[in-house]
Amino acid sequence: MSELQAAKAVLSRALFIPEAMIGDDADISAVKPMDSLAFESLVLEIERHLGVEFDVVRLIGVKSVRDLAAVLEKAG
């Protein structure tokens, strides 16, 4: 699985939306508005994907699916 596919899968599980609705170049906030609960769900899904505790500071500046894919690649 590519990191882009992994990012879409993580977002799909975290935001409770079908993966098919998440474009490769989508802005995460355009997919679904991010509130504190959605953010926590995203962090938990990232940790589940990586299998380790994740430093949320790494998400600063993440705006798109591709940004998240890059973070997953660096963290993995």
**According to the CATH classification, is domain 3-75 in 1.10.150.120?**
no
- pLDDT of the chain, 76 residues: tens digit per residue: 699 999 999 999 999 999 999 999 999 999 888 899 999 999 999 999 999 999 999 999 999 999 999 999 998 7
Read off the tokens for 39.
Answer: 């953010």
Place of tokens 């609705």: 21
Each domain of the chain, given as residue ranges in start order, spans 3-75
Predicted model pTM: 0.90
